[in-house]
Amino acid sequence: MENQSEIKNPLETEPVHKLIVRYSIPTSVTLMVNYLYNIVDQIFVGQGVGITGMAATNIAFPLTILTNAVALMLGDGCAANISLCLGRKKQQTANETVSHTLTLLLLAGLAGGLICGLGAPVIVSLFGATPSSYKDAVAYMRSIAPGIPFQMICPALTAVIRADGSPQYAMKCMILGAVINLILDPVFIFVFGMGVMGAGIATVIGQIAAGLLFLLYLPKMHTVHIRKAFLRPGRKLTARILGLGFPSLLTQIMSALVQIIMNNLMTRYGALTRYGSDIALSVYGMIMKVYQISHAMFVGVSSAVQPINGFNFGARHYDRVRKTYRMAAGISLAISAIWFAIYQLLPAQIGSLFVSGNDLYTECAVHCFRIYMMAFFLYGLHMTTASFFQGIGKPAKALALPLARQGIFLIPLAFGLSAVYGMDGALMAAPIADVAAFVLSAVLARTEFGSWKKKGMV
């Protein structure tokens, strides 16, 4: 028999705006710090190794996205299932869920590390390495391979710890890892002269430190508990975890696929411009690294409202779910407008953080930023909407948004437009996809709430 607690959960009683702030800020900071690992590497490599070193670390970046994709599938799937179970007073199922997830996470991390270490030469070739950046790209990828299990632990357990009600703990863990990376990067790159390999080693040490702290939290969880009897994954519950987490996986995989395709298009068509392939490739990679900071804010908001939506949908508080979605959508669009202004007004300043004293690099950075981020003021809504559907247990609708934006709109447009307009055509695919995803998100959300009204749910 499931435990039936009469204690009211803050997710169903506390004002929505306070819950969003409480959950979104630590989550956003946690993710931003996670992405800072790569940005700090990029800055130090750019200053210490040069443009070819930056291109090498950019080549490895899709691997980071793919690793996070698997981690977020497990973490978000676990967190969404926990929230729904707690809302329905199913304590034992919640305990089974977190226990299953831990085993799946450790197995996935070990597999990822082995694939990265053994397959580095093949992977960097597929990801678009230029002849001049190939050697450094392989060295960097092999240096980060040992940290992949811990890299996966951090974002996955961030979602679980957030669902447990302690997002601040995850934030502190990630900050510690980033500080360690920040300190060790210049030591390994400049003092020991280890180049891109030194940047990778510094990243791994920071990830291990953060990952161990995440694992130490697990025995102290408040709302769910890991049980030895549940560590062996069962087929039905594992399918439920993966099903609810699959939208997160697809979102990240599509992002990685976009990065890989754009890397290759920048290499190919950048060579036909005055910038050359190495500058075009390194600039696009830099844009993606900076973009991840703004992306972290959207993920923070959407992830923060997921447990609110999940618990209240499970408890049949449908008005509260609708209010949460509307508030989150407004916040996301405000964030989109702020970052749009930054990308359009300060591209030269952003680019100079990574490479200074190279006028051609700066010119390319300004050119690419302003095209690629042309419609960024609409960006946030599709992520909020996907998280909403994921939180209420409708993964099919949640899948539609990332699949449409990246797979149906952006990638085909990048190929088609680049064939006609070269590098600029590839860049133009992003703002067109942003507009299309915004419209699709609005239609899906309006249709869903309209069906609730017809059923008398609101």
Residues 6+ apart with CB under 8 A from 445: 325, 329, 385, 388
Measured in residues, the chain has a length of 458
CA distance 378 to 388: 17
Integer-rounded Cα radius of gyration of the chain? 22
Which of 72-81, 109-118, 186-195, 247-256 shows the lowest mean pLDDT across its residues? Answer: 247-256
CA distance 137 to 143: 10
Q: Considering only CA atoms, which of 49, 141, 149 is closest in space to residue 102?
A: 149
Which of 117-121, 265-269, 294-298 shows the lowest mean pLDDT across its residues? Answer: 294-298
CA distance 185 to 40: 8
Neighbours of 3 (CB within 10 A): 10
Q: Helices (H), strands (E): how many in the chain?
A: 18, 0
CA distance 426 to 405: 15
Q: Is the pLDDT of residue 63 over 90?
A: no
| H helix intervals, 227-317 | 235-270, 277-314
Q: Considering only CA atoms, which of 286, 271, 248 is closest in space to residue 158?
A: 248
pLDDT band per the 50, 70, 90 thresholds, residue 2: very low
Per-residue pLDDT tens over the stretch 287-326: 988 888 888 888 888 877 877 888 888 888 889 989 999 9
Does the pTM surpass 0.85? The reply is no
188: tokens are 């390994």
Q: What's the number of CA atoms in the CB half-sphere (13 Å) around residue 310?
A: 29
pLDDT band per the 50, 70, 90 thresholds, residue 4: very low
pLDDT band per the 50, 70, 90 thresholds, residue 430: very high
In one letter, which amino acid is 27? T
Q: What is the pLDDT of residue 331?
A: 92
Mean pLDDT of the chain: 86
